[in-house]
């Protein structure tokens, strides 16, 4: 046995010289996707995607795989009918009704084990309760729930009755909840009295109380309880789910047969303007694609215990905790609290306890585990065969640590690039087919056609190693349908820049991802990060303008700009640069007011890392704020040309102010 130090040196030199890591033979021997022909077969456009749809149960088979006649409003599996809840629950009853579907671990070790039969019963009763409350097909239900079993149950209950859900991540503020409720024309909010964060009970329902004061609508509120008795003040105006469920105990609700193109859900995400965008996902194409990628990329098999340690309130959780894994009939783990509660070994303790086979997390989490040290995972006995990262580029050092200390050098790792808008993975290796390369997402998924475009609109040669704008040249089944209620913004945001928008031939339309990327000679893709005013803070997506509009709510602020700064832990963090109004002195209390404004408008997770008071902001002659300058303010090399600024001395002034601190 080489000593630990020698082993480290060996691994590091492999990383430098060879760059590739082979998937372990035991993995390859059992993998779902082992034949390279899958690329040709699925790539046969569009019928290649039929094999994805065939993973599902359809009430009526589609008569047309793809309709591209009205770009960019593409349709998939046209004429087909199905129900997502039936596919994720009912159809598994024959073969695996006693198998666990959702394995929930509460903050303090409490455990809920929902078999497919239990899930079937709870989804039916909840669907009956929602109906009794007046929810009809196509009504949007806003779900503001944390990581408790009620969350996937409510989502699936909505899907069962054909009511699109709009899950608002529990960490969002009351105002953000109100805004999303209004924007989705939603008349129902589903909430809960509270949940646990680092072992403490958090009052969650008060956010709904506050949201109701701010929304323009008058939604009904349905409240779940975390325990049998309320632990927070639940308004008498709210309908208690427990009461409704009692009334509907044992109820059965036939799954509503939905058109493949009927929306399954909305997911709000940040864009380059202050207003969040409601990405609208369809039923058939979305479910087909997430089921297929769960099978081929995550290598999920029905009997597996699979744990994606993300929050269901984001797209990762929708696609790869709920819909994809349950469509395949696997056991999906959910954990309520944070990874450091009550100790830093919690994640590995759960992995050991449930004998988890497949583990899915973010590079931010890997960096955190790495900082805490390998003694935590080493203290537990778990054995992953497959591991995944998502959300941001992973640094080769972090990859290596994950590979060695979590994967024990015998698990495969896939780095999956995708977006809220794409619904499912687009760039990633199929784990048994290609070698792993730390820091690189790998190949395009079967049937996906990415390309790079220069700022001039010219397509870069394939595998040139040059950086460009990442586009996707061909539609795929889980792409968003539109932005809810705003087709124009949908076209402007994703299509206008790199498409011939006058053309009605779908081949002239290209989806703009908003990321920069390079494709190296081996065909592998490396995604570099956002090119627009969107930042990625610990895997959470935040819009610069969204933050700025929150800051400008503070009356004492005359003008503000927000810039992302690189951060070793979180990837990026937001810094606020604020110019105060005449006569206002900078002070700790103004700083706090600004921070509170962001927490109130968006949520605590968006809290600025720094508030820097400045006399002026760097602007072009036409008055546009140059955030690029702020982002690189401490790095003269990267600062670039500042002569186009209206007042070229501004960066220098800001640097001086920073130096004084
Ligand atoms: C943005 C999308 C997809 C679920 C989680 C985030 C960045 C995502 C990777 C990756 C490099 C990545 C991109 C993308 N991103 N995955 N594997 N490597 N960057 O979804 O909140 O919609 O954010 O996250 O910048 O555009 P999202």
| pLDDT 10s digits, 79-117 | 999 999 999 999 999 999 999 999 999 999 999 999 999
d(CA 221, CA 218): 9
Q: How many residues does the chain have?
A: 661
Residue 229: which residues within 8 A CB-CB, separation 6 or more? none
Residue for token digits 């009918």? 81
- Region 178-189 average pLDDT: 98
H helix count then E strand count, the chain? 24, 30
Going by C-alpha positions, the residue among 146, 138, 154 that lies closest to residue 195 is: 146
Contact between 177 and 207 under an 8 Å Cβ cutoff? The reply is: yes
d(CA 22, CA 37): 20
Q: Whose CA is nearest to atom 14 of ligand 1?
A: 419
Exposure b/e, 396-418, CB count within 10 A at least 16 = b: bebbbbbbebbbeeebbbbbbbb
Q: Encoding tokens for residue 645?
A: 């600024």
Give the tens place of pLDDT for each residue, 208-235.
Answer: 999 999 999 999 999 999 999 999 999 9
In the chain, what's the furthest Cα-to-Cα distance? 73
d(CA 609, CA 535): 13
Beta bridge partners of 263: 282
Q: Whose CA is nearest to atom 21 of ligand 1?
A: 541
Residue 515 CA to ligand 1 centre (angstroms): 9
Lowest mean pLDDT among 261-275, 402-416, 618-632: 618-632
- Mean residue pLDDT of the chain comes to 94
Exposure b/e, 439-473, CB count within 10 A at least 16 = b: bbbbbbbbbbbbbbbeeeeeebeeeeeebbbbbbb
pLDDT at 11 over 90: no
Rounded to 5°, the CA angle 521-525-530 comes to 135
Q: Whose CA is nearest to atom 5 of ligand 1?
A: 391
pLDDT the model gives residue 4: 54
Residue 536 CA to ligand 1 centre (angstroms): 8
Residue 571 CA to ligand 1 centre (angstroms): 12
- Region 62-69 average pLDDT: 98
Q: Whose CA is nearest to atom 6 of ligand 1?
A: 391
Residue 565: which residues within 8 A CB-CB, separation 6 or more? 572, 573, 574, 575, 609, 610, 631
* Ligand 1 environment, Cβ below 6 A: 269, 315-316, 390-393, 415-420, 441, 513-515, 527, 529-530, 536, 541
**DSSP-derived 3-state class of residue 463:** coil
Contact between 293 and 445 under an 8 Å Cβ cutoff? The reply is: yes
- Region 5-22 average pLDDT: 65
Which numbered atom of ligand 1 lies nearest the CA of 529? 25
If one counts every other C-beta atom within 10 angstroms of the C-beta of residue 56, the result is 23
pLDDT at 236 over 50: yes
Taking the complete model, does pTM exceed 0.90, yes or no?
yes
Residue 517 CA to ligand 1 centre (angstroms): 12
When pLDDT is cut at 50, 70 and 90, the band that residue 391 belongs to is very high
Give the tens place of pLDDT for each residue, 364-381.
Answer: 999 999 999 999 999 999
Residue 573: which residues within 8 A CB-CB, separation 6 or more? 537, 564, 565, 567, 608, 609, 610
d(CA 112, CA 368): 28
* More confidently predicted of 85 and 657: 85
Q: Encoding tokens for residue 470?
A: 């990442």
Percent of the chain scoring above 70 in pLDDT: 97
pLDDT at 322 over 70: yes
* More confidently predicted of 147 and 5: 147
DSSP letter string, 186-213: --EEEEESEEEETTEEEE-HHHHHHHHH
Q: H or E stretch including 223?
A: strand 220-224
pLDDT at 2 over 50: no
d(CA 231, CA 193): 6
Which numbered atom of ligand 1 lies nearest the CA of 539? 6
* More confidently predicted of 622 and 120: 120
pLDDT the model gives residue 147: 98
Contact between 307 and 358 under an 8 Å Cβ cutoff? The reply is: yes
First-to-last CA distance in the chain? 51
Residue 420 CA to ligand 1 centre (angstroms): 8
Residue 454: which residues within 8 A CB-CB, separation 6 or more? 460, 468, 469
Lowest mean pLDDT among 59-68, 409-418, 649-658: 649-658
Q: Encoding tokens for residue 656?
A: 């001086």
When pLDDT is cut at 50, 70 and 90, the band that residue 1 belongs to is very low
When pLDDT is cut at 50, 70 and 90, the band that residue 179 belongs to is very high
Q: Whose CA is nearest to atom 23 of ligand 1?
A: 419
pLDDT at 12 over 90: no
Going by C-alpha positions, the residue among 186, 264, 624 that lies closest to residue 423 is: 264
412: left (phi over 0), alpha (psi -120 to 50) or beta: beta
Which numbered atom of ligand 1 lies nearest the CA of 441? 17
pLDDT at 5 over 70: no
Which numbered atom of ligand 1 lies nearest the CA of 394? 18
pLDDT at 315 over 50: yes
- Region 566-572 average pLDDT: 88
Beta bridge partners of 102: 114, 332
Instruction: For residue 33, give the DSSP letter.
Output: -
Which numbered atom of ligand 1 lies nearest the CA of 415? 17
Q: Encoding tokens for residue 133?
A: 């409350």
Which numbered atom of ligand 1 lies nearest the CA of 428? 17
Q: Whose CA is nearest to atom 19 of ligand 1?
A: 392
Residue 645 dihedral angles phi and psi, to the nearest 5°:
-70, 150
Going by C-alpha positions, the residue among 271, 325, 299, 180 that lies closest to residue 514 is: 271
Give the tens place of pLDDT for each residue, 447-496.
Answer: 999 999 998 889 999 999 899 999 999 999 999 999 999 999 999 999 99
Residue 280 dihedral angles phi and psi, to the nearest 5°:
-100, 120
Give the tens place of pLDDT for each residue, 327-349.
Answer: 999 999 999 999 999 999 999 99
d(CA 327, CA 298): 13
Residue 4: which residues within 8 A CB-CB, separation 6 or more? none
């Amino acid at each position: 046995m080489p000593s630990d130090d020698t082993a480290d040196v060996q691994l590091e030199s492999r990383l430098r010289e060879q760059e590739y890591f082979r998937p372990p033979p035991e993995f390859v021997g059992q993998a779902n996707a082992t034949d390279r022909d899958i690329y040709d077969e699925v790539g046969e456009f569009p019928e290649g995607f039929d094999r994805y749809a065939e993973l599902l149960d359809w009430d009526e088979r589609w008569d047309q795989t793809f309709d591209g006649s009205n770009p960019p409003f593409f349709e998939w599996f046209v004429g087909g009918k199905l129900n997502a809840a039936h596919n994720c629950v009912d159809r598994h009853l024959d073969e695996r009704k006693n198998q666990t579907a959702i394995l929930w671990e509460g903050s303090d070790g409490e455990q809920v084990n929902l078999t497919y039969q239990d899930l079937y019963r709870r989804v039916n009763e909840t669907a009956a309760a929602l109906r009794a409350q007046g929810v009809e097909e196509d009504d949007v239900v806003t779900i503001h729930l944390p990581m408790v079993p009620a969350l996937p149950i409510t989502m699936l209950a909505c899907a069962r009755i054909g009511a699109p859900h709009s899950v608002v991540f529990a960490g969002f503020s009351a105002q953000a909840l109100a805004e999303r409720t209004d924007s989705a024309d939603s008349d129902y909010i589903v909430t809960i009295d509270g949940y646990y964060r680092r072992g403490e009970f958090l009052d969650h329902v008060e956010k709904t109380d506050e949201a109701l004061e701010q929304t323009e609508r008058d939604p009904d509120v349905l409240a779940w309880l975390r325990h049998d008795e309320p632990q927070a003040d639940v308004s008498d105006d709210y309908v208690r789910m427990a009461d409704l469920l009692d009334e509907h105990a044992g109820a059965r609700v036939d799954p509503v047969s939905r058109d493949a193109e009927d929306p399954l859900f909305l997911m709000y995400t940040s864009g380059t303007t202050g207003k969040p965008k409601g990405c609208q996902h369809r039923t058939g194409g979305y479910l087909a694609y997430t089921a297929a990628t769960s099978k081929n990329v995550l290598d999920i098999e029905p009997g597996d215990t699979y744990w994606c340690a993300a929050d269901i309130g984001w797209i990762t959780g929708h696609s790869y905790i709920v819909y994809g894994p349950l469509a395949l009939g696997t056991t999906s783990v959910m954990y309520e609290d944070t990874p450091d509660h009550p100790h830093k070994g919690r994640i590995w303790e759960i992995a050991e306890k449930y004998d988890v086979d497949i583990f899915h997390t973010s590079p931010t989490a890997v960096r955190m585990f790495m900082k805490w040290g390998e003694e935590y995972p080493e203290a537990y006995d778990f054995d992953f065969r497959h591991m995944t990262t998502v959300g941001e580029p992973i640094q080769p050092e972090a990859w290596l640590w994950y590979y060695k200390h979590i994967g024990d050098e015998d698990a495969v790792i896939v780095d999956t690039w995708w977006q809220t808008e794409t619904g499912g993975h687009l760039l990633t290796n199929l784990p048994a087919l290609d070698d792993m390369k730390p820091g690189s997402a790998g190949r395009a998924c079967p049937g996906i056609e990415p390309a790079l475009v220069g700022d001039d609109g010219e397509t870069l040669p394939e595998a040139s190693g040059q950086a460009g704008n990442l586009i996707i040249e061909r539609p795929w089944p889980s792409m968003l349908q539109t932005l809810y209620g705003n087709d124009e913004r949908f076209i402007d945001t994703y299509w206008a820049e790199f498409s011939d928008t006058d053309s009605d031939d779908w081949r002239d339309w290209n989806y703009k991802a908003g990321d920069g990327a390079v494709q190296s000679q081996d065909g592998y893709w490396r995604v570099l990060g956002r090119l627009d005013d969107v930042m990625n803070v610990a895997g959470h997506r935040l819009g610069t303008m969204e933050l700025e509009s929150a800051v400008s709510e503070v009356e004492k602020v005359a003008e503000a700009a927000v810039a992302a700064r690189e951060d070793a832990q979180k990837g990026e963090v937001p810094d606020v640069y604020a110019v105060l109004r005449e006569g206002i002195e900078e002070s700790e209390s103004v700083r706090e007011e600004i921070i509170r404004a962001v927490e109130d408008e968006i949520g605590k997770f968006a809290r600025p890392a720094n508030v820097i008071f400045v006399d002026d902001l760097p602007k072009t002659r036409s008055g546009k704020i140059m955030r690029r300058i702020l982002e690189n303010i401490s790095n003269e090399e990267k600062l670039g040309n500042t002569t186009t600024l209206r007042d070229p001395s501004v960066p220098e002034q800001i640097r001086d102010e920073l130096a004084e601190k």
